[in-house]
Structure formats: C-alpha cells, structure tokens
Amino acid sequence: MLHLSELHGAATHLAVITIPIYATVLVLRRFGPDHQTLAHIEPWLLGGALAGIAAAGVTGLLVWGQAQTTLRGHAFRTGTVHFWMGIALGLILLAASVLRYRTVRRGHPTHGPVLLAAGALALVLVFAQGYLGGRMTYDQGVGIEAGGQFAQTATGSRDLERALATTSPAAAGRAGFSSQELGCASCHGDRAQGLRGPALAGGVDLGEFRQVHGHGLFPANVVSDREFRAIDAWLRTLRGSGGGGDAG
C-alpha cells in the first residue's frame, strides 16, 4: 500500500537531483565555456527544481501531522527547522525564476552573480534540509508506518520478555527502559527525567502510550501490554524524581 511519506520522498528527489545540477550549470556558464547546450538546459533545470520543491512541499504538509506525533520534546525542533528550510528554499527558487524571466526579457545573461548566488544558496539549503530529513526518518522514525519493523525494537521486546520470566516486573522494566534496543532512555533520559522526550518518572497511562507510539516505534503487535506494564512498574518507583504523565 502506498503511504504519504513515500510520496514525499519521491517528490523530494526531483529537487535533490535538479538543484545541484542547476547550480553546477550556472557555475560552468559563469566561469567556463558558455556552451549552447548549457544555455538550453538551464531553464529546464530551474523549472524542474521549482516543480520538485513544490511537490515536496505539498506532500510534506500531508505527513506533517505524523511528524508532530513522532517527534517528541526537543526533537520536534528538527521538524520545525526542516519545515521552514523548505519554505525558504521554495521562495528562493521562485524568486530566481522571476528574476530569470526579467533578465531574459532585458536581453541580459542569465548566469549573472545574483542568480549564481541564488543557485548556491539553494544548493546549501537542499543539502541541509536533506540531512535533517534523514535524521527524522532514520533516527526518529518519521514516516515509518509500523516502527516495530525496526529490528532493534523487536529484539528489545524479546529481551524484555526473557527478563520477565526470571525477575520482577520492575527489575525487568528497568533493564528494558535502559536497553539500546528499545531506546526509551535515549529519548527520555536514564532516570526518565526527560531528554529529547518528556519526563516519565511516576508512570505513564497505557492509553497515552498507545496513542503516541502505537503507530510509531512501539506498535502493540511488537511491544505487548505486559511489557509496557513492566516498564511502567519501574517508572512508578521514580515518582520522587520528577512527575510522570505524557508518553512520547
């Protein structure tokens, strides 16, 4: 089944491909032999870049709600910066298109310093935005339909089940919370004091946990209610170190 996040990735690649080529063509026309072929392909590249960033923006808005659910705490700043970089990139390309049109009408070269600077800035922004987009996908799981597909999440769940067979729920929950496979501590802090995600000391409601993570990193078919309650049992022993509440 096709998902919105996949459409966003497909649309983004058009801009990722065309913007660096467009910037390279401008440099070659400015400082190298201004071959006629370069002059012919330059407007098509700019048009492709503009179309790509527009398509990426529309599909990005469709998955924005998912990003708001997945990116918790300080990590949401990454999504905000990524969003506004896309807006800035779109405005730069739009301004470059208008400027190029006016330049052509006046009979001036279209590889002047202003358009060259616009191409260079667009190139920097597309790489920076791509880096942040990669972090959101590969580090925080934005766009993952069922985060349990992450092998480490499934491994952490199995390890927690084994611990529950030999020790108390709270002890097993403490080990599960701290494990790299489940990654709870990497988001919420070693003592659930809050880090990238909110503080959880004092316990978390199962319903809230499922609402936030049920379609993200910890779907019910991978992390069971029993495993959640084991981690929650340990969180409730931390009541004095900073109140619990929201899952995220």
CA distance 112 to 35: 15
- 106: its two tokens: 């006046």
Q: Give me the pLDDT at residue 208, please.
A: 86
- 54: its two tokens: 């527009």
Q: Cα-Cα-Cα-Cα dihedral of 132, 138, 142, 145, to 10°? A: 160
Q: Give me the pLDDT at residue 119, please.
A: 93
Residue labelled with tokens 């089940």: 161
pLDDT digits (tens, 9 = 90+) for 18-27: 999 999 999 9
Residue labelled with tokens 């379609």: 215
CA distance 55 to 113: 28
Count other Cβ atoms within 10 Å, centred on residue 2. 7
Q: What residues contact 39, with CB distance under 8 A and at least 6 apart?
A: 29, 110
Q: Give me the pLDDT at residue 221, please.
A: 80
Global pTM value: 0.61
Residue 21 · residue 45 · CB < 8 Å: yes
Flag residues of the chain having pLDDT under 50: 147-149, 241-248
Q: Give me the pLDDT at residue 245, please.
A: 43
Closest residue by Cα to residue 28 from 7, 46, 42: 42
- 119: its two tokens: 């191409």
β-partners of residue 245 are 204
Phi, psi of 214 (to 5 degrees): -60, -30
CA distance 213 to 200: 14
Distances in whole angstroms, Cα of residue 140 to Cα of each of 32, 70, 97, 184, 246: 43, 7, 35, 12, 18
Amino acid type, 143? G
The 8-class DSSP code of residue 71 comes to S
Q: Give me the pLDDT at residue 244, please.
A: 43
Closest residue by Cα to residue 26 from 106, 96, 125: 96
Q: Give me the pLDDT at residue 147, please.
A: 46
